[in-house]
């Protein structure tokens, strides 16, 4: 079944999902924030800024008008950075019908309110729309998906039928979607793993080895799970695709922006210089601040994200952070 689908956000992941959906025969309208980029993409049929080398099919209409993209769409795929999510949700809301299914692929936590993106949607959209919200997460580098390498992801939804509609709309012979009912768990896995990825990058940049990386991933997963449980998530979700799966990918993959930030910090670069040189957003930088605040709110012990916070926002020396982590009071696993 073919659908009218709007994709809001034309970074590498948004563009990749637009290509995937168009290749399945869906009619896709891709909303691009930058008017100049939208015009260039419409002419060249390529996103040379964020996903060079991959042609946009004829099924994709590129526009800088959010109204043109969202109006009459049966499905809206939301792929914008978390720090602008609230504003874009407000812009889209007038064009959402009672039958529109919204799929969020945004990974992050709103810094000012400490809300997961699901709560931001529920705060802005009227209650009858909430059952049509779904959240896509899991180990999926855009570059590998657009090259049609086998990938498996998780899709959480409040309503089973809505989840199954999206599962069918997105799944291909190289992109497999598994449904899940734990919205907060899937969301938190996708957000928190970016903070742990910065930590593993720092360790790699300092020249530490596989032992260190394995320790950070494993203990990081335990800390992610602790916070998730406190916020109402199911523990088992963190052992799945949106938890352990995404964590391993982001902490070890060369394409990980968050690991790259950590890698450069571990080699002695300053955060402001790293961010100034990056085209795309490393969500973990902002998420670290939110996770630090959430750990205090829920009184959850999260030493790894805390040290990342001190490095990013208090300019703590990375060597001192490593020493402090290793010299914490001994205890049970």
Contact 87, 33 (CB under 8 A): no
Enter the DSSP assignment of 158: S
Rounded distance, CA 53 to CA 68, Å? 26
Q: Phi and psi for 7 in degrees, rounded to 5?
A: -115, 115
Q: Is 193 known to be catalytic?
A: yes
**What is the 8-class DSSP label of residue 198?**
H
Q: CA-based Rg of the chain, rounded to a whole angstrom?
A: 19
Q: Could you say which of 24, 107, 193, 289 is catalytic?
A: 193
Contact 98, 273 (CB under 8 A): no
Q: Which residue is listed with tokens 């599962």?
A: 167
Q: How is residue 272 written in tokens? A: 């402001």
CA distance linking residue 35 with residue 238, whole number of Å? 39
d(CA 19, CA 59): 9
Residue 113 phi, psi dihedral angles, 5° rounding = -100, -15
β-strands 75-78, 101-104: how paired?
parallel
List Cβ<8 Å contacts ≥24 apart for 304-308: 304/195, 304/196, 304/199, 304/216, 304/219, 304/220, 304/223, 305/192, 305/195, 305/196, 305/199, 305/220, 305/223, 307/199, 308/195, 308/198, 308/199, 308/202, 308/262, 308/284
Known catalytic residues are 193
């Amino acid at each position: 079944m073919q659908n009218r689908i709007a994709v809001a956000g034309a970074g590498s992941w948004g563009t990749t999902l637009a290509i995937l959906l168009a290749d399945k025969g869906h009619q896709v309208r891709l909303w691009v924030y930058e008017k100049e980029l939208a015009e260039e993409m419409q002419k060249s049929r390529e996103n040379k800024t964020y996903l060079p080398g991959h042609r946009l099919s004829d099924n994709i209409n590129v526009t800088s008008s959010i109204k043109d993209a969202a109006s009459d769409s049966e499905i809206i795929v939301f792929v914008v950075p978390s720090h602008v999510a609230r504003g874009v949700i407000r812009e889209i809301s007038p064009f959402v019908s009672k039958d529109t299914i919204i799929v969020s692929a945004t990974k992050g936590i709103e810094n000012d309110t400490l809300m997961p993106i699901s709560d931001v949607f529920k705060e802005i959209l009227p209650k009858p729309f909430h059952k049509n919200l779904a959240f896509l997460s899991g180990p999926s580098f855009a570059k590998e998906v657009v090259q049609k390498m086998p990938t498996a992801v998780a899709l959480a939804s409040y309503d089973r039928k809505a989840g199954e509609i999206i599962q069918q709309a997105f799944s291909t012979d190289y992109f497999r979607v598994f449904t899940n009912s734990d919205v907060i768990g899937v969301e938190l896995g996708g957000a928190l793993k970016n903070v742990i990825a910065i930590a593993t990058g720092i360790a790699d940049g300092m020249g530490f080895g596989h032992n260190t990386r394995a320790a950070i991933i494993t203990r990081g997963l335990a800390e992610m799970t602790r916070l998730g449980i406190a916020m109402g998530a199911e523990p088992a979700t963190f052992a799945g695709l949106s938890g352990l799966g995404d964590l391993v990918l982001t902490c070890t993959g060369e394409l990980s922006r968050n690991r790259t930030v950590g890698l450069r910090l571990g080699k002695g670069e300053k955060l402001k210089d790293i961010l100034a040189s990056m085209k795309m957003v490393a969500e973990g930088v902002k998420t670290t601040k939110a996770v630090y605040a959430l750990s205090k709110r829920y009184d959850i012990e999260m030493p790894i994200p805390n040290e990342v916070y001190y490095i990013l926002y208090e300019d703590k020396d990375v060597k001192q952070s490593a020493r402090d982590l290793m010299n914490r009071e001994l205890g049970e696993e």
